[in-house]
Amino acid sequence: MSDPPPNSEVSEQDRGVDTHNQMMRETRREKHDQYSLHEPIEVCIDKDNTPDGVVSSLSIILNTGGCRLARADGCTICGPVADSVDDDGVSHDALMNQIDFCIKYEQTVTNEPAELVKLHTPGSFLDEREVSVKSRQAIAETFADRNRIIVESLPEFVNTNTLRPFTAASLTTDIAIGVETATDRIRHDCLNKQLNFTDFQDACGEVCCIDAMTSENIDIGIKACLLLKPPFLSESEAIGDMVESVRRCAHIDGCHTVSINPAYVQQHTMTDELFHRGGYRPPWLWSITEVLESTRNVDAIVVSDLIEDDSDRGPHNCGECDERVQIAIEDFNRRQEPSVFTQVECECEATWAYILDAESSYAQPLTQ
């Protein structure tokens, strides 16, 4: 008697997504970080390139209770779940205390309010389970005198109702969407993030419709946030994926900025486990410059946001040239001039070029 046909449910047991989720649930149990519900996780003053030019920005990471996806499983590379609380969320009063904290901080370090406010959260600012309508309205009113605000969200929450507090306040608004890559298979299999590129396209279409219905003085736009080098990709595969992803995102109406976020090894993630076992290396800084140079002609602002960290957990070269290359990338972010990269050289660029040619996804990384 022949064997019965394989059952797909049995075949996937202890493999693929199921294994991702089990490992990440176990990893999250190791977190010990505790954060005040009345203070933001982080706040700083910075500068950003926007459709209005390079402007001062107030960057805030709110403690909102955490991403709904992370509570069930979570992305292989995302560590903000370790920054979030374990209960059912953060109250309106606590969130507004966090906002007050940020405004007082801003007043101590600068004489003028920042033109741009960036609101980061562990999950989605437009998700009512994370930030209530009442809180969104109050925050929009608080920053109504600023030129522009950026909020983070999954595409499914982008609609007229969730953005109404900002349009009502006549506040130009951008939604930063962590689409990570234009390739669904990489997003699903390498990152365990189960949204599709069509979801991102739909969100762009939604903001175009909202933009058309609002005042000419209010713009609603999308900032696509991409991830350079998720786990399980070789350096050359990561570069190829990023170049293609930048081009596809920039081609979509409604998306005016593409941010290339080089992977950083965060604690309490699957990538952290791979990193400690020699199975993952963050991207080379040369890879960032390669992507920026290769996409210099797309119809969008293309930037790369670097996390300030001198450890090998973030993007790095040999160590000798890192600071010079980082400065060049920051210069490019502001001026969009690729010639800045011709001004930095290092012998390690030959090592990087060899890795692009020799490294494979089933035998990597070749170096740390």
Whole-structure pTM value? 0.88
Model pLDDT, residue 309: 72
Model pLDDT, residue 12: 35
Using the predicted structure, report yes or no on whether residue 336 has a pLDDT greater than 60: yes
For 187-211, what is the mean pLDDT?
92
Model pLDDT, residue 2: 39
Model pLDDT, residue 3: 38
Using the predicted structure, report yes or no on whether residue 300 has a pLDDT greater than 70: yes
Q: For the ranges 56-65, 140-149, 238-247, which has the lowest average pLDDT?
A: 56-65
Model pLDDT, residue 137: 97
Residue 111: both structure tokens together: 């004489």
Percent of the chain with pLDDT over 70: 85
Q: Using 50, 70 and 90 to split pLDDT, how confident is the model at 201?
A: very high
For 123-148, what is the mean pLDDT?
95
In this predicted model, what pLDDT tens digit does every residue of 315-334 receive, in sequence order? Answer: 999 999 999 999 999 999 99
Using the predicted structure, report yes or no on whether residue 33 has a pLDDT greater than 80: no
Kindly tell me the burial class for residue 175, based on how many C-beta atoms sit within 10 Å of its own C-beta (0-12, 13-18, 19 or more): buried
Structural domain boundaries in the chain = 10-358
Q: Using 50, 70 and 90 to split pLDDT, how confident is the model at 270?
A: confident
Model pLDDT, residue 198: 97
> Could you tell me if residue 145 is left (phi over 0), alpha (psi between -120 and 50 degrees) or otherwise beta?
alpha
Model pLDDT, residue 9: 35
Using the predicted structure, report yes or no on whether residue 191 has a pLDDT greater than 50: yes
Q: Which residues contact 174 (CB under 8 A, 6 or more apart)?
A: 50, 148, 149, 150, 151, 220, 221, 222, 223, 256, 257
Q: What is the mean pLDDT of the chain?
A: 87
For 216-236, what is the mean pLDDT?
91
Q: For the ranges 41-50, 88-97, 167-176, 181-190, which has the lowest average pLDDT?
A: 88-97
Model pLDDT, residue 26: 63
Taking the CB of residue 136, how many other CB atoms lie within 10 A of it? 21
Q: In degrees, to the nearest 5, what angle opens at C-alpha 59 toward C-alphas 57 and 65?
A: 155
Name the more confident of 27 and 185: 185
| Cα–Cα distance, 234 to 280 (Å, whole number) | 9
CA distances from 65 to 1, 35, 60, 223, 316 (A): 55, 10, 15, 23, 32
Model pLDDT, residue 13: 40
Run of H or E including 351: helix 348-358
Q: Using 50, 70 and 90 to split pLDDT, how confident is the model at 19?
A: low
For 97-125, what is the mean pLDDT?
95
Q: Decide which of 3.40.630.30, 3.20.20.70, 3.40.47.10, 2.40.30.10 is the CATH code for 10-358.
A: 3.20.20.70
Model pLDDT, residue 21: 59
Model pLDDT, residue 84: 55
Cβ distance 328 to 343 under 8 Å?
yes
Q: Using 50, 70 and 90 to split pLDDT, how confident is the model at 37?
A: confident
Model pLDDT, residue 8: 30
